[in-house]
């Protein structure tokens, strides 16, 4: 079991330092983990990023990584971060969301500001319903009606009095998250993500299955 666990951990960390623009999900998760140092409450919204969080994010404290499963309700990230910060005001809180999920409840930034809360929002930005795209490509090898037009997320954040940061390259990511956590205010980090890794992961996992 120790040897198997070592192999799994090695695979998880194989892409931790992959550099580039846009940024692969594995690198975003690795830098998120480096920045929060195992102490933050992480709330995951629903979308392609959720599968990467569930697969690769290694929590160190019970009840500090909350993922919406079951009904898998998109839009949980911002309300969830508000609830987490109210419940544990001394803990850093990070809401991880896709752009689609954020658009469903992003206006709750008004509630967070009114309550005087502080947390970090990391948006995996691809201007698509990434999880639906992933499933369509796996099943049909093509996509349909999954793209949409995003607003200017930094301008949106500013309209609520929230600081916004744009990250387009992996070299900018770690510092941006660390600075946001230490700022003691609401900070939205808009990250351009490379979701070409999704289908690659499906193929890798598929190769593990014995075909009868």
Q: Which residue has the higher pLDDT, 18 or 70?
A: 18
Q: What percent of the chain has pLDDT over 70?
A: 96
The answer to whether position 53 is within a domain reads: yes
Q: Which residue has the higher pLDDT, 65 or 210?
A: 65
What are 7-29's pLDDT values in tens digits? 888 888 899 999 999 999 999 99
The answer to whether position 165 is within a domain reads: yes
CATH number reported for the structural domain that contains residue 37 in this entry: 3.40.50.970
Interior CA angle at 91 toward 85 and 93, to 5°?
Answer: 55
User: How high is the pLDDT of residue 210?
Assistant: 56
In this prediction the pTM is 0.92
User: How high is the pLDDT of residue 208?
Assistant: 61
Closest CA to 92 of 127, 74, 118: 118
Which of 77-81, 164-168, 175-179, 194-198 has the lowest average pLDDT?
A: 194-198
What are 121-142's pLDDT values in tens digits? 999 999 999 889 988 988 999 9
Overall average pLDDT of the 44-52 stretch? 94
Interior CA angle at 163 toward 44 and 177, to 5°?
Answer: 50
User: How high is the pLDDT of residue 80?
Assistant: 97
What are 177-206's pLDDT values in tens digits? 999 999 999 999 999 999 988 878 877 766
Query: What are the backbone angles phi and psi of residue 9, rounded to the nearest 5°?
Result: -60, -40
Residues 6+ positions from 149 with CB-CB distance below 8 Å? 127
pLDDT band at 207 (very low <50, low <70, confident <90, very high): low
The answer to whether position 9 is within a domain reads: no
Q: Which domain holds residue 171?
A: 19-197
């Amino acid at each position: 079991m120790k040897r198997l666990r070592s192999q799994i951990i090695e695979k998880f960390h194989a892409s931790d330092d992959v550099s580039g623009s846009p940024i692969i999900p594995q690198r975003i998760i690795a830098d998120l983990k480096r920045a929060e140092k195992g102490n933050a409450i992480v709330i995951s919204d629903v979308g392609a990023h959720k599968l990467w969080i569930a697969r690769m994010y290694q929590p160190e404290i019970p009840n500090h990584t909350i993922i919406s499963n079951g009904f898998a309700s998109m839009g949980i990230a911002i309300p969830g971060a508000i609830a987490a910060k109210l419940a544990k005001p001394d803990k850093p809180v990070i809401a991880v969301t896709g752009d689609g999920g954020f658009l469903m409840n992003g206006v709750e930034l008004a509630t967070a500001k009114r309550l005087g809360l502080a947390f970090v929002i990391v948006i995996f930005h691809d201007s698509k319903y990434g999880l639906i795209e992933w499933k369509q490509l796996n099943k049909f090898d093509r996509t349909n009606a999954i793209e949409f037009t995003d607003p200017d997320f930094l301008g949106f954040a500013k309209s609520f009095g929230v600081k916004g940061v744009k990250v387009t390259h992996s070299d900018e990511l770690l510092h941006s998250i660390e600075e946001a956590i230490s700022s003691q205010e609401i900070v939205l980090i808009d990250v351009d993500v490379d979701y070409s890794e999704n289908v690659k992961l499906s193929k890798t996992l598929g190769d593990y299955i014995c075909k009868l």
